[in-house]
């Protein structure tokens, strides 16, 4: 910052007589002003690798702060206390976290546990009167998702889903372009989401905890991406499953699924979800007047992409930092992102996943209500 300021000050001196910059420090005043508004005080439930990623990202948040933890592993709680300065009174385990009801230091809980635990944990957090941020997928099926929405409405708390891409600058720009008609009529979307998964004993390959396999973890990105890139909700799906390793990918745990979606306008989507192939993180959408390709499209960043108008050059900012600040604005100020991140949005994705699994079993076209 100092170097940049010196440069501008020198420029001002050399351009004396030109009343363009009378006080160069004013150029930086807005960005340097500390945030004075309300801070969203968050407890993270589930201190695994993604919980750690969110915690690290929140160090740079202006409107959200990590203040508490909930974990079933006492040693992790101790480590997080030391690392993030979390007081003992804001630390809970899975048995006693209902006591957050009486803790005014916590506004919201970010649920980052295995998918199969989300529904019950969300209900308990809501009953304790705290806002819920739940990592996606929000549950293991649409029924659970709707129960979560209903529980939070009954408790009069917000339910938000961890759709970090809805805050990512290049993604937001593409959605803006589509909304303003710069691609013309969207016609076709292709989503490729996958990687080779490692440890066969991890919870993501456990049907009870994960609710499935690659589709629940990575395929949901192509589902959600198709919806925000095309700007419509699908009315039918078809799907085909391929399984090359039935030992690693047991019954009910999908390895690779190709799926197709049809939309009211006639637009179609063709997508791939897999735990068996690398180098798959690509979105492509073409319309009557233009196109966009993003690769990587949903990784932690930086996202890269280009349209018929040229390269996307929006800055890379840690997705979870933007997400948590954005969710603080939503909870306290009612400021909505360009695409919703509420529980209803999560249920829409879960209904599509349910339909895809049904299409795999029936080998037919499944109509969406």
pLDDT (tens digit per residue) in 28-59: 344 457 889 999 999 999 999 999 999 999 99
For the chain, domains (ranges, CATH) are 2-32 (no CATH), 40-164 (3.40.50.720), 165-315+343-367 (3.30.360.10)
Q: How far apart are CA 135 and CA 131, in angstroms?
A: 13
Catalytic residue among 123, 136, 170, 348: 136
Size (the chain), residues: 369
Quote the pLDDT of residue 29.
40
Q: Per-residue b/e over 35-51, b at no fewer than 16 CB within 10 Å?
A: eeeeebbbbbbbbeebb
Question: In the annotation, is 348 catalytic?
Answer: no
Catalytic residue among 92, 221, 228, 284: 221
Largest CA distance in the chain: 78
Question: In the annotation, is 92 catalytic?
Answer: no
Q: Phi and psi for 188 in degrees, rounded to 5?
A: -150, 140
Among 306, 310, 287, 288, smallest CA distance to 296 is for 306
Q: Which residue has the tokens 């996202």?
A: 303
How many other CB atoms are found less than 10 A from the CB of residue 328?
Answer: 25
Q: Per-residue b/e over 236-254, b at no fewer than 16 CB within 10 Å?
A: ebbbebebeeeebbeeebb
Quote the pLDDT of residue 84.
98
Quote the pLDDT of residue 308.
98
Q: How far apart are CA 283 and CA 229, in angstroms?
A: 9
Whole-structure pTM value:
0.91
Among 117, 69, 75, smallest CA distance to 93 is for 69
Quote the pLDDT of residue 74.
98
Q: How far apart are CA 281 and CA 310, in angstroms?
A: 20
Residues of the chain under the 70 pLDDT cut: 1-32
């Amino acid at each position: 910052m100092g170097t940049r300021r010196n440069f501008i000050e020198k420029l001002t001196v050399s351009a004396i007589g030109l009343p363009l910059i009378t006080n160069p420090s004013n150029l930086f005043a807005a960005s340097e002003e500390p945030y004075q508004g309300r801070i969203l005080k968050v407890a993270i439930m589930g201190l695994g690798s993604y919980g750690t990623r969110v915690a690290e990202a929140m160090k740079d948040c202006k409107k959200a702060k990590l203040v508490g933890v909930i974990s079933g592993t006492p040693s992790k709680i101790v480590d997080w206390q030391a690392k993030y300065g979390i007081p003992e009174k804001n630390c809970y385990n899975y048995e006693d976290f209902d006591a957050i009801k009486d803790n005014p230091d916590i506004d919201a809980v970010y649920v980052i546990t295995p998918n199969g635990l989300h529904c019950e944990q969300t209900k308990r957090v809501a009953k304790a009167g705290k806002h819920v941020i739940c990592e996606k997928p929000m549950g293991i099926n649409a029924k659970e998702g709707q129960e979560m929405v209903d529980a939070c409405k009954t408790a009069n708390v917000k339910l938000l889903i961890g759709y970090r891409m809805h805050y990512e600058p290049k993604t937001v720009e593409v959605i803006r372009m589509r909304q303003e008609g710069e691609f013309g009529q969207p016609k076709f979307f292709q989503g490729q989401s996958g990687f080779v998964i490692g440890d066969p004993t991890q919870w993501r390959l456990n049907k009870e905890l994960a609710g499935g396999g690659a589709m629940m973890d990575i395929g949901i990105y192509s589902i959600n991406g198709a919806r925000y890139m095309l700007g419509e909700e699908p009315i039918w799906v078809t799907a085909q499953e391929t399984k090359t390793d039935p030992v690693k990918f047991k019954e009910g745990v999908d390895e690779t699924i190709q799926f197709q979606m049809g939309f009211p306008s006639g637009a179609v989507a063709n997508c791939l979800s897999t735990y068996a192939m690398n180098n798959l993180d690509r979105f492509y959408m073409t319309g009557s007047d233009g196109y966009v390709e993003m690769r990587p499209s949903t990784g932690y960043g930086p996202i890269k992409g280009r349209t018929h108008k040229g390269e996307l050059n929006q800055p890379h900012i840690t997705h979870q930092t933007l997400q948590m600040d954005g969710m603080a604005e939503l909870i306290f100020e009612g400021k909505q992102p360009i695409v919703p991140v509420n529980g209803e949005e999560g249920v829409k994705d879960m209904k599509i996943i349910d339909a895809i699994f049904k299409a795999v079993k029936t080998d037919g076209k499944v109509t969406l209500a």
